[in-house]
Structure 1
Amino acid sequence: MDIAALKRSGHSIRWIARKLGIHRKTVKKYLESNSFPAYHRKDTKPSILEPYHQIIRDFLDEDEYQATWILTRIKRMGYSGSYDTLKVFVRSIKEQKRRIAYQRFETEPGLQAQVDWGDFKVVDSTGKTTPLYAFVMVLGFSRAMYVEFVERCTLEAFMDCHLRAFRHLKGVPAEILYDNMKQVVVGRENGRPVFNTEFLHFARHYGFTPRLCPPYSPWVKGKVERPMHYVRESFWRGYGFHSLEETNQDVAAWIAETAHQRIHGTHRQQVQARWEQEQPCLGALPPSEYDTSLKYFRKVYKDCLLSFGGNRYYVPYQAAGRKVLLKVKASVIRIYHDDELLALYQIPEINGQTIGIPDKPPPRTPRQTPRYGQDRGMATRGLTTGTLYPEVYRRPLEEYDRYAAGGAPWNS
């Protein structure tokens, strides 16, 4: 009901103003003009940040820079406004980009895969809970997947899971999208991600480019987030865990018989048929596998020992004083020097041990043995007697007695 109708109903201007929560003068003006007064917004001054809007957008197109990082740059360009003004604008741009990223998109065959870890728990007969982790890789075009359960989320396990996923999916995608997981990103410098060097070597070996989701935006990886939920509900719920090996055999059978046979809700095609269409577009596996063992350098001490992981290990005496390469994989340590395997040890469960047998060098040959202490003859240089000691004149004892009594000169 409008103001005029209320007035025609017999209500006073005061009552109408109180009822509608407006001033009496506003009611009176409306009744006199028979229209509601238009609201005119005052002209606002341009923002002090406005000259830098495009520069900031260009920065954010490059990467998810923090507002503090951008503030440092635009201050050098003459910006004199506050940090809060900049922060509000940066947040609005990031939210807009994330809304765009959230919109569903379909990738070309062989272009992209997405990878994620899932946390699971196993409860044994005694009630003890043990963590278990699921590695999931999903091809973007077909939604074909590879799932593997592991006990630890180490870099070694992460790379091994990739390797087996490439074999299972029969090729390598051009790029793989990751959340900001520690196996891929070790930190950020000036807003830019710092990739794990070992993982970059692995990616170059297999010919794919690692891509990152914007920080705190896991929804961008929808193609793998939804399959993770699918694994939990369709495979894991009600599953009786007995061993890791058996579980991985069972999940592989579930993928072949169930996950790849379903009609996917997005592309409305069978996953298996779509995967067969995608396989020719995937990159070929390299002729040699990447060595996924973790690598460290250590110096061997003079006693033929090196330290690693809280233990000491013996190596052959030839490596004493040299730097050697350690390759660690599956609790086994291999020690190399110039591509030669020097020693192999099982890493003990308890630290503080000295492992191996001391390796002593062979006895020296006579040519190598120092001649200290051997008879090399007496020195004769400068001596007329041919002996080391000069010859001394010897007097009879009687001469000393006569000299003492004054009966003989000393030099006689």
Structure 2
Amino acid sequence: MSRREAARLFGIDRRTVDKMLKFSIPPGYRRSKPVKGPKLDAFVGIIDAILEADKMVPKKQKHTSKLVFERLRDEYGFKGGITIVSDYICATKQRQREMFVPLLHPPGHAQADFGEALAVIGGVERKVHFLVMEMPHSDACFLKAYPAETTESFCDAHVSAFEFFGGVPISILYDNTKIAVASILGDGKRKRTRVFSELVSHYLFTDRFGRPAKGNDKGKVEGMVGYTRRNFMVPKPVFASFDDLNAYLESQCRKRMEDMLRGHKGTIGERFAADAEQLQPLPAVPYDACDKQSTRVSSLSLVRYRGNDYSVPTQYGHQQVIVRGYVHEVVIACGSEVIAQHPRSWEKEDYIFDPLHYLALIEQKTNALDQAAPLVGWELPQNFLVLRRLLEARMGKGGKREFVQVLRLLETFQMIDVEAGVESALERGTIGFDAVKHLVLCRIERRPPRLDMTVYPYLPKAHVAATSAGDYMTLLAGGRS
């Protein structure tokens, strides 16, 4: 039948019949141009300018379609409805969405990035920062968690990752973290930070960087950060320390080597063999993963590092020192000599004292003994307190100085040896610094003590008379009776 007859028979338009003859499947409605009408034409430039400006602001502060409509209405006198504005914005954003090229990842190359998660460490819930290093060819991964995203944690994670993989990747792709990138030069090249330059020079890998604010340039590790957070840290991990948490995370990475991913024939571990063949050998000595800073000791014998104050011996006051900040400790050196070591504090504005650092000064300023902040919380054995009370009772202010001298023995000897010396002095009644020191040395050298009793005139003296034969006869006579 003709088109007109078919249209009349089925009750449809002849143009619909033409489409039915042209297409085997109904093509549906297709819009050839963005939605805009006479009412919107004059305002398209304004909308485009607003959307362009939104690219420079955080996602949560971008204009919504409703807000764009209200601005057009209130500021520019737009008379149309919100629908055509919303449709135009939707179509514009869809045209601007970025497209991506599928990538092939040769073996031996890696990507690295930091992530965040909540965990309970030592009974306290806190945010942990973990660095993930992934080998995109095999999907093998390694991650390690830290209290903060710092230079020393960045370097320490690299050292641990290289040991885990058994070698150094040919190249590692990063975002433009300030830990690694000091500045981006005009030609797009990156100027490395001092510590990152040391790390690269030590392990001799090639560093590569993605475009600023373009996380998709290292999409494999971005996805791995999310995967490890969802699979290794849900529910929230609960551990006594970061060492325990990291041991668990490493075990999960090794366990994952047995998984077989969609689209691959072998397990991750089997495919990692190709990566392992391309890895560079580890250097003989691992990189010293720390942050180095030069600073000066204050008049309170304190060194400030990352907002916290750490003590050093008072004889180094006002001198220039080098601070090496590790993940778990802070080491302070003056020249080539290490003068102080402290556990690392991740609190804010904290004071970390070693009481032994201040004893030489307190010996000169004994009035500060009971108010010295470095000694607060220093738990000494009970025998020390008894010794102090007896020294002050016998010698007054001089006894306080002798007690500090006894404490200074801890600068050289172990607490267990000094405590034994104090206990032995109390048992003998030889209350004094010289006696305690002598008894400590005798204990260490395993020899009997020989105290000069003339130093202790307050002790009762025993007088032994010469023996005579008559005395023996007296005893014998008494025994017969």
Shorter-chain TM-score range: 0.5 to 0.7
Partner of 1:80: none
**Structure 2: which amino acid aligns with 1:131?**
K
Is 2:355 the partner of 1:357? no
How far has the Cα of 1:311 moved from its partner? 3.4
Is 2:127 the partner of 1:131? yes
Partner of 1:72: none
2:254 aligned residue (238, 253, 256):
256
**Structure 2: which amino acid aligns with 1:177?**
L
- Counterpart CA distance in 2 for 1:185 and 1:293 is 17
Partner of 1:160: 156
How far has the Cα of 1:251 moved from its partner? 2.9
How far has the Cα of 1:218 moved from its partner? 0.6
Q: What are the ranges of 5 or more consecutive residues in structure 1 without an aligned counterpart? A: 10-94, 361-412
Question: TM-score under structure 2 normalisation?
Answer: 0.47
- Counterpart CA distance in 1 for 2:331 and 2:195 is 18
CA contact (8 A) 2:311 2:340 kept: no
CA contact (8 A) 1:106 1:140 kept: no
Partner of 2:215: 218
Alpha carbons of structure 1 residues 189 and 220: separation in structure 2 relative to 1, 3 Å? closer
**Structure 1: which amino acid aligns with 2:309?**
N
CA deviation digits over 1:139-179, x for unaligned, max 9? 12222111223222111111111111111111100110011
- Counterpart CA distance in 2 for 1:320 and 1:234 is 50
Alpha carbons of structure 1 residues 185 and 274: separation in structure 2 relative to 1, 3 Å? same
Is 2:222 the partner of 1:228? no
1:285 aligned residue (282, 286, 291):
282
CA deviation digits over 1:118-156, x for unaligned, max 9? 221237999x85212232111122221112232221111
1:202 aligned residue (199, 202, 224):
199
Bigger radius of gyration: 1
Partner of 1:109: 107
Alpha carbons of structure 1 residues 293 and 239: separation in structure 2 relative to 1, 3 Å? closer
Is 2:123 the partner of 1:122? no
CA contact (8 A) 2:122 2:239 kept: no
How far has the Cα of 1:272 moved from its partner? 0.6
CA deviation digits over 1:61-90, x for unaligned, max 9? xxxxxxxxxxxxxxxxxxxxxxxxxxxxxx
2:309 aligned residue (306, 311, 316):
311
Partner of 1:145: 141
- Counterpart CA distance in 1 for 2:111 and 2:265 is 20
How far has the Cα of 1:291 moved from its partner? 1.2
Structure showing the higher helix proportion among its residues = 2
Partner of 1:170: 166
**Which deviates more, 133-142 or 224-233?**
224-233
CA contact (8 A) 1:304 1:315 kept: no
Identity between Structure 1 and Structure 2 (%): 23
Q: Secondary structure at the match of 1:292?
A: coil
How far has the Cα of 1:312 moved from its partner? 6.7
Alpha carbons of structure 1 residues 242 and 214: separation in structure 2 relative to 1, 3 Å? same
Is 2:337 the partner of 1:340? yes
**Structure 2: which amino acid aligns with 1:180?**
N
Alpha carbons of structure 1 residues 132 and 266: separation in structure 2 relative to 1, 3 Å? farther
- Counterpart CA distance in 2 for 1:273 and 1:340 is 48
Q: Secondary structure at the match of 1:357?
A: helix
2:184 aligned residue (182, 188, 213):
188
CA contact (8 A) 1:314 1:358 kept: no
How far has the Cα of 1:304 moved from its partner? 9.2
Is 2:238 the partner of 1:241? yes
- Counterpart CA distance in 1 for 2:260 and 2:283 is 32
Q: What are the ranges of 5 or more consecutive residues in structure 2 without an aligned counterpart? A: 9-95, 362-481
Is 2:327 the partner of 1:326? no
Alpha carbons of structure 1 residues 324 and 359: separation in structure 2 relative to 1, 3 Å? farther
- Counterpart CA distance in 2 for 1:256 and 1:347 is 29
- Counterpart CA distance in 2 for 1:277 and 1:136 is 20
Alignment of 1:54-69 (within 5 A): none
Alpha carbons of structure 1 residues 261 and 186: separation in structure 2 relative to 1, 3 Å? same
- Counterpart CA distance in 1 for 2:332 and 2:309 is 14
- Counterpart CA distance in 1 for 2:270 and 2:193 is 36
How far has the Cα of 1:247 moved from its partner? 3.5
- Counterpart CA distance in 1 for 2:104 and 2:179 is 27
Alpha carbons of structure 1 residues 324 and 185: separation in structure 2 relative to 1, 3 Å? same
**Structure 2: which amino acid aligns with 1:207?**
L
- Counterpart CA distance in 1 for 2:338 and 2:163 is 29
CA contact (8 A) 2:112 2:173 kept: yes
How far has the Cα of 1:264 moved from its partner? 2.7
RMSD (CA atoms): 3.6
Is 2:273 the partner of 1:276? yes
**Structure 2: which amino acid aligns with 1:249?**
A
Question: TM-score under structure 1 normalisation?
Answer: 0.54
CA contact (8 A) 1:123 1:129 kept: yes
How far has the Cα of 1:286 moved from its partner? 0.7
CA contact (8 A) 1:304 1:314 kept: no
**Structure 2: which amino acid aligns with 1:178?**
Y
CA contact (8 A) 1:307 1:313 kept: yes
CA contact (8 A) 1:297 1:324 kept: yes
1:296 aligned residue (293, 296, 305):
293
